[in-house]
Amino acid sequence: MRLPVLKFPTVEGTNLATHEIVWRPTPEQIEQANITRLLRAVGYQVNPQLPAAVEQAARELVRRSGEDIEWFWEHALRDMDLLWDAPYQRLLDTSRGNAFADWFIGGRINLVTNCLDRHARGPARHKTALIAETEDGQSRSWSFAELHAEVSQLANALRALGIAEGDRVAAYMPMVAEVAMAMLATQKLGAIFIPIFSGYAPPAVRERIEEASAKVVFTADGSMRRGKAFALKSELDRAIDGLACVEHVVVYRRIGEAIECPMRAGRDLDWDTALWGKARVCESVSMPALAPALMLFTSGTTGKPKGTVHTHAGCLAQMGKEILYNFDLQPTDVFFWFSDIGWMMGPWEIIGCLMHAGTIVIFEGAPDYPEPDRVWQTVERHRVTMLGISPTAVRMLMRAGDEWADKHRMPTLRMLGSTGEPWDAESYGWYLQHVGKGRCPVINISGGTDIAGCFLAPLPIMPLRATTLQSAGLGMAVDVFDESGESLVGEVGYLVCKQPAPSMTRSLWKNDAKYLETYWSKFPNVWNHGDWAMVDAEGNYYLLGRADDTLKIAGRRVGPGEIEAALIEHPAVSEAAAVGVPDQLKGTDVVCFVVLHRAAEPSEALRTELVQCVVSALGKVDRPKAVYFVDDLPKTRSAKILRRLILRRYLGETELGDLSSVHNPEALDAIARAR
């Protein structure tokens, strides 16, 4: 397969065309970093005044941690100071193969003991644990002691409703503080928490609740989006109509009398009624280390959604490792990742930060409402030090104009995060300069729902090259394979993991066969993640999109991300989507949809220029059949562009299935009109 052509513009005088370094840590940042402590603990010499030697040591740690995963995890778990109810007797058993690896054999633990209980009784008890901001700008906060009391009371309410170890509890709620409480209360009792995206329509909600056989569902009367209230409880009623597994629904009153909220006697309880008279003390149930704590459903964009299963110890190990070492969480940090609880990053942020006594911000609403600087205002208002957001959301905010970010100094920011899709150089540079003001690294991570963590993640003591994910995650035996399972350097291939990780899904819920087919069937005993990636000679990783999105044009493969990157290189283009349509001669031809910057005007001359951009970058075979100008591209609420829906609507299909996860379904109408 051809190596994608990566052409980068100049950002603030830095020539990204040669992948020159765009950010370097200072000696002070190196000295204070958590990963520096770990490096020294395992025997590496780290002199912050010798950055080249620091990078060499860090890369050696990444390499060794992937080759000798037991060595790494023993040291990392000790450094992270997990609190075990009973220590494990053996770290790892792969006698059944990597697909069914057993971790922490004999160990007992509870996620909530580590995230709340220990802090509520220790020096951090009065420290702010959670800040929640609603769309109308109202903020509430809880200390660790206060949050612990709320979660304990809610856990006692769940116990009174019959919830015990192994039961499933779902949440169909907006991103408010109470959804974090619902998750932690469920896990405190040893039950399994299932977050469901609040934008899903009833059929998608029902599918997940029914598959998990959830006994209790948390919901809210409604939520707010762009100044308008929308119902949740009434939607849930439609979803669970006739479902015998649902015994109780607990309803949080977010909106109040302004929205309809029917209550069914004997099944439905107001949040306050459920809590009434319950004690605010509840010990966390000691669970086997591999007991499930979290069930995350994949989005279902490539078929029926799959229930991925994550354990108490696995979540703590992976999420805690990434927050501590890759994002370098310090005691004074305030962490804000723009996400919904239904996406992996919601639970990841809550669990990973709270276990290290970090402060998190939970945010309801859109990133650009009521003004395009809503996120930047939130950063300044809550003195956020770590901000995470997707590349597509950054591109959307860029279109509003530089001035919206430039007028906010955001002096507390020290880390930027991103995930979800490949970066283009222009928006990466904008995020680096206009949001991070050139002083913050972009910790660009990639993993997924199925591992509840990252395969690729930068370390903040190494320099960063534009758009890169820098290195494999610690303890992750990541590689890039060709079709025959041989390692590649400098060429595009499949992103794989050659050894197990503690957070990899424990099969799929009730479906071992699908689990093996999805992740372990292409390469023997090797996890195939389904992404295209490339690693250069230095060990820097680049993500190039989903392998199942690959287009085969005249017998040659090309990723849509390559075509989109060529289009976005043009200064008039803000966003782009490329899809493959049937063609009698080539088999597949390319059709492109572009969103222009505000100052640009669509024209035939511009269309010709954009076609030439693709030809210049990729060759004549990949010349687009057509380029269409649209005002917006359809995206999920987490800002992922929905290429499959674009293709189906362009081809004239009218039955597109459940569109409830689409943030802007009206954009699909523009795709249809473009033909």
Domain CATH number, residue 654: 3.30.300.30
Residue 594 counted as domain residue: yes
Centre a 10 Å sphere on the Cβ of residue 262 and count the other Cβ atoms it contains: 11
CA-nearest of 493, 361, 418 to 4 is 493
Domain CATH number, residue 86: 2.30.38.10
In the predicted model, what is the mean pLDDT of residues 568-578? Answer: 90
Highest mean pLDDT pick, 298-307, 408-417, 537-546, 666-675: 408-417
Residue 120 counted as domain residue: no
More confident residue, 61 or 558: 61
Residue 88 counted as domain residue: yes
Give me the pLDDT at residue 650, please: 87
Residue 12 counted as domain residue: no
Indicate whether 156 and 283 sit together in one domain: yes
Sorted by sequence, the CB contacts under 8 Å of residue 80 that are 6+ apart come out as 316, 317, 320, 321, 324, 355, 356
Indicate whether 145 and 287 sit together in one domain: yes
Indicate whether 633 and 515 sit together in one domain: no
Sorted by sequence, the CB contacts under 8 Å of residue 660 that are 6+ apart come out as 199, 200, 201, 204
The answer to which of 147-161, 234-248, 554-568 has the lowest mean pLDDT is 554-568
Give me the pLDDT at residue 1, please: 36
Q: What does the alpha-carbon distance between residue 518 and residue 512 come to, in Å, rounded to a whole number?
A: 10
Domain limits at 618?
Answer: 550-673
Indicate whether 561 and 528 sit together in one domain: no
Per-residue model confidence as pLDDT tens digits over 163-180 = 999 999 999 999 999 999
Is residue 385 over pLDDT 70? yes
Indicate whether 647 and 625 sit together in one domain: yes
Would you place residue 15 in the very low, low, confident or very high pLDDT band (cuts 50, 70, 90)?
Answer: very low
pLDDT mean across residues, the chain: 90
Indicate whether 279 and 159 sit together in one domain: yes
In the predicted model, what is the mean pLDDT of residues 593-608? Answer: 91
Residue 375 counted as domain residue: no
Would you place residue 647 in the very low, low, confident or very high pLDDT band (cuts 50, 70, 90)?
Answer: confident
Is residue 603 over pLDDT 70? yes
List % helix, strand, coil for the chain (3-state, nearest 5): 35, 25, 45
Give me the pLDDT at residue 225, please: 85
Residue 321 counted as domain residue: no
Among the candidates 245, 270, 292, a domain finishes at 292
CA-nearest of 256, 422, 410, 418 to 334 is 410
Give me the pLDDT at residue 554, please: 58
Among the candidates 263, 292, 321, a domain finishes at 292
Indicate whether 532 and 652 sit together in one domain: no
In the predicted model, what is the mean pLDDT of residues 352-362? Answer: 97
Sorted by sequence, the CB contacts under 8 Å of residue 317 that are 6+ apart come out as 73, 76, 77, 80, 82, 103, 502, 503
Total domains in the chain come to: 3
Give me the pLDDT at residue 594, please: 95
Indicate whether 598 and 648 sit together in one domain: yes
Indicate whether 668 and 565 sit together in one domain: yes
Is residue 3 over pLDDT 50? no
Indicate whether 512 and 559 sit together in one domain: no
Per-residue model confidence as pLDDT tens digits over 255-280 = 988 888 999 999 999 999 999 999 99
Give me the pLDDT at residue 10, please: 30
In the predicted model, what is the mean pLDDT of residues 437-449? Answer: 94
Tell me the whole-structure pTM to 2 decimals: 0.85
Among the candidates 259, 292, 325, a domain finishes at 292
3-class SS of residue 565: helix
Give me the pLDDT at residue 512, please: 94
Structure tokens at 463: 């320099």
Per-residue model confidence as pLDDT tens digits over 490-549 = 988 999 999 999 999 999 999 999 999 999 999 999 999 988 889 998 899 988 777 766
Residue 233 counted as domain residue: yes
Would you place residue 332 in the very low, low, confident or very high pLDDT band (cuts 50, 70, 90)?
Answer: very high
Give me the pLDDT at residue 11, please: 32
Q: What does the alpha-carbon distance between residue 178 and residue 276 come to, in Å, rounded to a whole number?
A: 16
Give me the pLDDT at residue 639, please: 67
CA-nearest of 404, 374, 382 to 336 is 382
Indicate whether 265 and 241 sit together in one domain: yes
Residue 6 counted as domain residue: no
More confident residue, 342 or 125: 125
In the predicted model, what is the mean pLDDT of residues 51-55? Answer: 95
Indicate whether 575 and 585 sit together in one domain: yes
